Amino acid sequence: MTRCTRVQLRIGLFVTVAGAVLCLNARAKSAAEPSLCARLVAQMRRSPATVVKDSRQLQLSQSLGYDHWAPWITVTKFGVSSDSGAFRRIDAEWAAHLKGAFPPGPASVEALPGTGLFVANAILGSGECLNTMFVEWKWGNHLRVIPGPQLPLDMCLRDENPGWANPAMVLGQPAYIGSRSLSGTNSDALMLIARWNGKNWTRPCPVSIRFTYRYAVMLLYCGASREVCNAARGLTPEVTRRYSAYESSVLDALNAHNRVPKFAFHGVLGTQGRMLVARARRIGIPKRIAPGSGVPPVWLRHMNPADAEYFPLRLDGKMYLGAADYRTYPWSGPSPVFFVFRAPRDGARSLAPVAALTAQRLTSGVKSIQARNQSPSSSAGS
């Protein structure tokens, strides 16, 4: 073996070893680098007060898109005008993509800044589900339809837990976010985040946010003694929790084509309770506080006779009639309203109202923020 040959072998061996070391280092760095969701969770955990504030803003807006998780997430607002040539070009691709005789056009087209990506959106079907088409269209290149993020959730407005999806910037990186409630009865949320790496979408990573809650009780009306009013006020959060759970059970029954249950605050009704509730249903809600009082008061207008559920109630040692109804308020979203009537005697023609209250559930703190490892599809309803 010549000296030149030995030098060449040494150089080749050095290059091979160096290449292997570089590959190992790159793999180690890739393995050690936290995912986008892990970094998002780490930053959100450092500022729980901001997370609570963002959640309250989301409740007030009644928005399905996560455009309030500032400063970590910014939902893009770059819509493509329906009068533009870009919209018409994407609309033509949409028609070819659906391959229907008369396919409905997209309701909107959104752009993800700095990527050349566009997403066309339409709400279709009886479930009012979000249908999307993703295209890549950079300056000087041809438009091409690309696969969208594989979010393992259906984004439907008529689901028990409605879901939605938006293009967004997450920690400054382009992404697509699917979001929905974890329970349908509170603000606990699940986000599925797919990042755009410049060539394709990464596998979605899930983030769950759970909160602690408190109830703010508002007395709409009270015409009874202070003791009865205070007792009713104290029961309102419990009635609210039970009625919220009841509303969820009604949706479950409807979805399963089962018989809709009746609301019972204290479980199965006894003979006296059944008679009281049956009597109340025959009478119906009061049209006036007392004979000759004229127009029903504002608080009574919150009660819907078709949806109200009656139940026996004991306050301050006496039997009363309770009624719960679920109404939506522009400033707070859906909240149960709790009514108290005097127990009607046999032959009574009207119900005498004693009190009317409502309890708004408010986010009081952060219980947990996690980058979940389990399957998002199985955790969406947990």
Query: Per residue in 8-25, pLDDT tens?
Result: 434 343 334 334 433 434
Supply the mean pLDDT for the chain.
Answer: 76
Query: Per residue in 211-254, pLDDT tens?
Result: 998 888 888 888 888 888 899 999 888 888 888 778 777 777 77
Which range among 7-11, 100-104, 161-165, 317-321 shows the weakest confidence by mean pLDDT? Answer: 7-11
Share of the chain above pLDDT 70, in %: 73
pLDDT reported for residue 103:
59
pLDDT reported for residue 184:
64
Q: Which of 149, 167, 164 is nearest to 74 (CA)?
A: 167
Query: Per residue in 334-382, pLDDT tens?
Result: 567 888 999 988 888 888 888 888 888 788 899 999 986 543 333 333 3
pLDDT tier, 185 (very low <50, low <70, confident <90, very high otherwise): low
Distance separating alpha carbons of residues 4 and 266, to the nearest angstrom: 94
Both tokens of 286, joined, read: 């009061």
Query: Per residue in 254-283, pLDDT tens?
Result: 777 888 777 777 777 788 888 888 888 888
Query: Per residue in 22-39, pLDDT tens?
Result: 343 434 333 334 689 999
pLDDT reported for residue 176:
93
Contacts 24+ apart (CB under 8 A), 49-55: 51/209, 51/366, 51/369, 52/211, 52/363, 52/364, 52/365, 52/366, 55/187, 55/209, 55/211, 55/363
Strands 73-75, 144-146: parallel, antiparallel or unpaired by DSSP?
unpaired
Residue type at position 55? S
Alpha helices in the chain (DSSP H): 3-32, 36-45, 48-61, 85-98, 226-255, 271-283, 376-379
SS3 129: strand
